[in-house]
Amino acid sequence: MADRTPVPVDMKTTEDQKLKITWDDGHESEYHFRFLRGSCPCAECVDEITGKRIVYPNHVPEHVRPMEAIPVGRYAYQFVWSDGHNTGIYTYEYLRSICQCSKCGATPK
Ligand SMILES: [Zn+2]
Ligand SMILES: [Zn+2]
Distance in angstroms (rounded) separating the CA atoms of residues 106 and 96: 9
Q: What is the model's pTM?
A: 0.91
Question: What are 10-69's pLDDT values in tens digits?
Answer: 999 999 999 999 999 999 999 999 999 999 999 999 999 999 999 999 999 999 999 999
Sheet strands (E) in the chain: 8-13, 18-23, 28-32, 66-72, 76-81, 89-91
Distance, CA 85 to ligand 1 centroid (Å)?
A: 7
CB atoms within 10 A of CB 97: 12
Q: Are 69 and 11 in contact (CB under 8 A)?
A: yes
Distance in angstroms (rounded) separating the CA atoms of residues 2 and 11: 21
Quote the pLDDT of residue 86.
Answer: 98
Distance, CA 93 to ligand 2 centroid (Å)?
A: 12
Task: Give the CATH fold of the 8-97 domain.
Answer: NE0471 N-terminal domain-like (3.30.2020)
The domain ranges of the chain are: 8-97
Distance, CA 88 to ligand 1 centroid (Å)?
A: 5
Q: In this structure, which residues have their CB less than 5 angstroms from ion ligand 1?
A: 40, 42, 44-45, 88
Q: Are 86 and 75 in contact (CB under 8 A)?
A: no
